[in-house]
Amino acid sequence: MNQPDDPASLTELLERLRANTEGQVQVSVGDVLAAVGERSFGPMVLIAGVITLAPLIGDIPGVPTLLGLMVLLTLGQLIFQRHSIWIPSKLARRNIEREKLARGLDWMNKPARFVDRWTKQRLLWLVRGPGQYVIAIICMVVAAAMPLMEVIPFSANGAGIALMAFGLAIVARDGLLALVAILATGGTAWFILNNLPW
């Protein structure tokens, strides 16, 4: 999943997004893909989690569903061993205001620095080889559930935490963080099942 030019930390990913969208009024899904790299499966999952969690962005109706679709498309291609990410042009053109994106990224700065202090390479078998495909399948299950999460308050935040943790585990090659992400996924599933509207 990792490529040599992938960001090595959450802070670096936020800086790359900020720098690559500077001066734009609107930022599209295609712009985000260009910023993180078209072969960067891990960073794409990470940024989907970050945007879902970010205030003013993740709360916009339809955004969690859009990000879930992006994760499904991205990781589906990984499982079928594509070497670069392809997304439909209609999805690539979907956009948000750059000002809202910038505010969300600024809000994430402090948590990102905290998280980066605790990540390091460990339990590599969980984030390489067969382990990365297990992570991909779990992330796809989370992503497929994101439209449902739009009708259950705060559940999309749990999905955002899980995707962010999985994405960062891949980027930082931190298997322990992957285990934390699995726990976050389980907790989110429990919350959803106990708060279904029917």
Phi, psi at 96, each rounded to 5°: -135, 165
Domains of the chain: total: 1
Pairwise CA distance, residues 131 & 175, whole Å: 9
Give a yes or no: residue 4 inside a domain.
no
Residue 82 lies in a domain: yes
Is residue 7 in a domain?
no
Residue 9 falls inside a structural domain:
no
Q: Indicate the length of the chain as a whole number.
A: 198
**CA distance between the termini of the chain:** 39
Vertex 31 angle, CA 26 and 37, to 5° = 160
Q: What is the pTM of this model?
A: 0.74
Mean pLDDT for the stretch of residues 169-191: 86
Query: For residue 6, how many C-alpha atoms fall within 13 Å in the half-sphere facing its CB?
Result: 24
Measured in whole angstroms, the distance separating CA 180 from the mean position of its chain's CA atoms is 15
What range does the domain containing 30 cover? Answer: 24-192
Q: Say if 63 falls within a structural domain.
A: yes
CA-wise closest residue to 159 among 137, 142, 134, 147: 142
Cα 166 to Cα 174: distance, rounded to the nearest angstrom? 9
Q: Does the pLDDT of residue 110 top 80, yes or no?
A: yes
Give the integer Cα–Cα distance in Å for 188 and 19: 33
Average pLDDT (145-169) is 81
Stated as kind and residue range, the H or E segment containing 46 is helix 41-53
Residue type, 83: H
Task: Name the residue among 33, 28, 21, 1 with its Cα closest to residue 168.
Answer: 1
In a domain, 18, yes or no: no
> Is 5 within a domain?
no
Residue 186 pLDDT > 80, yes or no? yes
* Confidence label for 107 from pLDDT (cuts 50, 70 and 90): confident
Q: Which residue in 33, 78, 37, 38 sits closest to 51, CA to CA?
A: 33
pLDDT tens column, 22-81:
888 888 888 887 777 655 677 888 888 888 887 656 567 777 888 888 888 888 887 777
The sign of the dihedral angle between the CA atoms of 150, 151, 153, 159 is: negative
What tokens appear for 143 in the block? Answer: 């992503």
HEC-encoded secondary structure of 13-40:
HHHHHHHHCCCCCEEEHHHHHHHHCCCC
Q: What is the per-residue pLDDT for 12? A: 84
Q: Is residue 150 part of a domain?
A: yes
